[in-house]
Structure 1
Amino acid sequence: MDELKYQIDPKGLTVWRIHACIFSGIALLITALIFFLTYYFEWYKWIPYTVLGLWVIEAFCGIYLFPKIRWQRWRYEVREQEIEVQSGLFVVERTLVPMIRVQHVDTVQGPILKKYNLAEISISTAATTHTIPALQMEEADELRRRISKLARVAEEDV
């Protein structure tokens, strides 16, 4: 398969890692609660250490390994007739969205994305929504306008 042309912004990797840190922090609180409950209720001593080991594995994979693999695989390309998006962690998925099926295009920017001047594009069709995450805000706005224009042209050709 040919490699798609565009990759998301490298700062997207940082954003994904921040999200993973938040999730891991919550998981660590649950792990600490399990340690407390083990001594309070006198459960087996191996239970909290097993949960702690699982948390360490989850934190390493979620914060370091998975975002890096995900960022390397995320690619997209916008052509006159279609949008192609490639994503995945263990299984790489490539999706073609015909321009004629595009109903509307949105830019989304949460607080963490805003801090890094990034945005996410949401491309809606009748059946589903496809996203292109972590684009520079200017690039996201330009891409939204371009997709909208190409979708109108595709609709007029029908």
Structure 2
Amino acid sequence: MRQPPKERIAIEAKKAWMLSAGLWSIFPVIITITLFVLAYFLQFSYWYGIGLLVASLIEIILTVFLIPTLRWKRWRYELFDQEIYIQHGVLIVTRTLVPMIRVQHVDTKQGPILKKYGLSSLTISTAATTHEIPALIEEEASALRDQISNLARVDQDDV
């Protein structure tokens, strides 16, 4: 069996994923507060709100603190002359080999949260699907994009 890839994504990825999950966790909190307000005005049991509050707290602990750390530990990649080796997953670890000859184009993208931490994601497109290496340092993502593009071009010229 092949060894896991050696390269890791940027450590700042954990902060970016925590911030993103924290922003999404605002919605369950708003719904919980709304349920408590409705329970007060409509005179029904507060136990529904308490149950939803417990569920919201568990969701926040998992998505904001636990999952970003696990995701960062599992995300790895490695670039070879003939292929790109990607590993990711929290509970189920997926290892993917993308042959250079199948690469059609390579993009970098950056949203507001990634920009705040100086990160970019690299997207590798083939005819069948798209693969992403998230949260690389901007300069590293650009250099990797150019390197993959050159390697893919060389492979296609050989055909």
TM-score normalised to structure 2 length: 0.95
Q: Aligned pair count?
A: 158
1:99 and 2:104 aligned? no
**Secondary structure of 1:9's match?**
coil
Deviations 1:47-71 (A, max 9, x none): 1111000000000011110100110
User: How far off is 1:30 after superposition?
Assistant: 1.4
- The percentage of aligned residue pairs carrying the same residue is 49
Q: What does residue 131 of structure 1 align with?
A: 132
Unmatched tracts of structure 2, length 5 or more: none
Deviations 1:1-21 (A, max 9, x none): 412110000001100000011
Unmatched tracts of structure 1, length 5 or more: none
User: How far off is 1:41 after superposition?
Assistant: 2.6
Asked if structure 1 preserves the Cα contact closer than 8 Å seen for 2:4 and 2:87, the reply is no
The 5 Å alignment of 1:104-123 reads: 104-123=105-124
For the residues of structure 2 that align with 1:147 and 1:139, how far apart are their CA atoms?
Answer: 12
**Secondary structure of 1:103's match?**
strand
Q: What does residue 25 of structure 2 align with?
A: 24
Asked if structure 1 preserves the Cα contact closer than 8 Å seen for 2:110 and 2:119, the reply is yes
Q: What does residue 52 of structure 2 align with?
A: 51
For the residues of structure 2 that align with 1:84 and 1:42, how far apart are their CA atoms?
Answer: 58
1:5 and 2:2 aligned? no
User: How far off is 1:26 after superposition?
Assistant: 1.9
For the residues of structure 1 that align with 2:156 and 2:42, how far apart are their CA atoms?
Answer: 66
- Superposed CA RMSD: 1.0
Q: Which moved more, 1:101-110 or 1:27-36?
A: 27-36
The 5 Å alignment of 1:62-73 reads: 62-73=63-74
Moved over 3 A (4+): none
For the residues of structure 2 that align with 1:142 and 1:96, how far apart are their CA atoms?
Answer: 20
User: How far off is 1:111 after superposition?
Assistant: 1.1
For the residues of structure 1 that align with 2:95 and 2:66, how far apart are their CA atoms?
Answer: 21
